[in-house]
Amino acid sequence: MTEGEEYCLARMSVDPFMAMKKSNYNKNNQRRFSDEQIKSLEMMFESETKLEPRKKVQLARELGLQPRQVAIWFQNKRARWKSKQLETEFNILKQNYNDLASQFESLKKEKQALVSELHRLNEEVQKTHEEKRLCCGDQAAVVALSSTDHESENEENTRREQEEEVRPEMEVCEKGDDGVLCGHHNDDYDDGGYNNDIKREYFGGFGEEADHLMNIVEPADSCLTSSDDWGGFKSNANLLDQSSSNCPWWDFWS
């Protein structure tokens, strides 16, 4: 028979009414331990969260409790302590998360502002270019220019066709079975290749103007244009956009 069972039987023999109910009272018919008892138990708990059997018996004797009661107090105390610790850790993680989220938001706004500025500058440059062309007014030059434009357009088309042939390979390579990007191995698409094409599309195709703009905006060897970064960003762009549009996935905190 365990200590607890002994104690319960003892209580029941003293107070028959206890046999009807579950016994939640100590020797002195107190449900709660006294302040002194709690203080001693707390002190012991601070030095060791698990009590050796010998110390348990000794402490129980000192406090006028059953060893079983001391053991249970330690058990409950450990559970409370654990959940408190869990709560603390949770709060720390939550705080870290909130900091990162607000950092992310401000970076997103900064990026949006930069993109808008870029649009504005691009339009301005194109407008200037148009004006220059119109005010020159030389028909021959315009014809020459337009024929050169056609030529370069044809060259561009040929080049695009060639690139289209290469690109499918790339797309297969870009996302493996496990969904992990494997980078761009084709020389045409290394750093200045694939990324430059993306930028060219943005700046209005091939031509001096586009080249000029691209050089102004970002040096070719900039870390911001490295294929890994772009690839990584591209692969996550949907996720980020989704998260920021409908229902942010961190909203569940609130």
Partner DNA sequence: ATGTAGCTCAGCATTACATCA
Partner DNA sequence: TATGATGTAATGCTGAGCTAC
* Chain residues in the site for DNA (CB under 7 A): 1-4, 7-8, 21-26, 31-33, 38, 50-51, 53, 56, 68-69, 71-76, 78-80, 82
Q: What is the DSSP letter of 90?
A: H
Residue 228 sits at φ, ψ, to 5 deg, of -60, -50
* Token pair 């993306």 in the structure block, residue: 198
Distance of CA 168 to the CA centre of its chain: 31
Rank residues 7 and 194 by Cβ distance to DNA and give the closer one.
7
Shortest Å, Cβ 97 to DNA: 23
Is 16:23 a contact under the CB 8 Å cutoff? no
Shortest Å, Cβ 98 to DNA: 23
Rank residues 71 and 210 by Cβ distance to DNA and give the closer one.
71
Shortest Å, Cβ 250 to DNA: 24
Shortest Å, Cβ 225 to DNA: 51
Shortest Å, Cβ 94 to DNA: 18
Rank residues 4 and 204 by Cβ distance to DNA and give the closer one.
4
Question: What string of DSSP letters covers 18-66?
Answer: HHHS-----TTS-SSPPHHHHHHHHHHHHH-SS--HHHHHHHHHHHT--
**How many whole angstroms separate alpha carbon 41 and alpha carbon 59?**
8
Is 67:87 a contact under the CB 8 Å cutoff? no
Rank residues 60 and 210 by Cβ distance to DNA and give the closer one.
60
Rank residues 7 and 203 by Cβ distance to DNA and give the closer one.
7
